[in-house]
Amino acid sequence: MLKISVLTFALLFSLPALAAPDAPPPKPASRPTSGVMRYDANGDGVVDRAEWNAGQEARFKELDVNSDGKLTQDELFARTPASGDNVLPTDKQVQRQTAYFQRLDTDKDGFVSKAEFLVQAGRNFARCDLNKDGHIDTAECRQALRRQPTTPARAEQ
């Protein structure tokens, strides 16, 4: 009986030692791949101006498929999904893309330079940073995009 008690006692205290070593740490939550939070490089839940700028520079480089330092309209909108089951964008999408491209192309040379691209990126950050604290997040950007423009619309003639 004493042998069984000693064996039981030894077994109970040796089980933790026989158990698997420390369990692997939980995997970190996956980083967003779209939206403003994909630029949150340090994972603190907000995007600061430096993270935004770095993200926009990387985005420009990714869009510039021929690496010539400027974007054509085709490069800028190559990944824009068409609507529905269509392969090609609708006429309305093409009109919007053309207008946006022309707005970005401030020197009207038919290309969007990195500088022109980053100027608009800076405007986008400023528009989203409603409280002007130098940090943006998804909620703040959504709220900014719902706001009406501060300039009155032109009256139709």
d(CA 81, CA 97): 12
Q: Is the pLDDT of residue 13 over 60?
A: no
d(CA 41, CA 43): 6
Predicted confidence at residue 145, as pLDDT, reads 87
Residue 108, sorted as left (phi over 0), alpha (psi -120 to 50) or beta, turns out to be left
One-letter amino acid for residue 123 of the chain: R
Predicted confidence at residue 38, as pLDDT, reads 94
Report the chain's mean pLDDT, rounded to a whole number.
81
Helix (H) or strand (E) holding 102: helix 91-104
Predicted confidence at residue 90, as pLDDT, reads 86
Q: Does the reported pTM lie above 0.85?
A: no
The pLDDT tens digits for 33-80 are 789 999 999 999 999 999 999 999 999 999 999 999 999 999 999 876
Q: What percentage of the chain reaches a pLDDT higher than 90?
A: 60
Contact 37, 137 (CB under 8 A): yes
d(CA 62, CA 111): 16
Q: Mean pLDDT over residues 123-132, rounded?
A: 95
Predicted confidence at residue 33, as pLDDT, reads 75
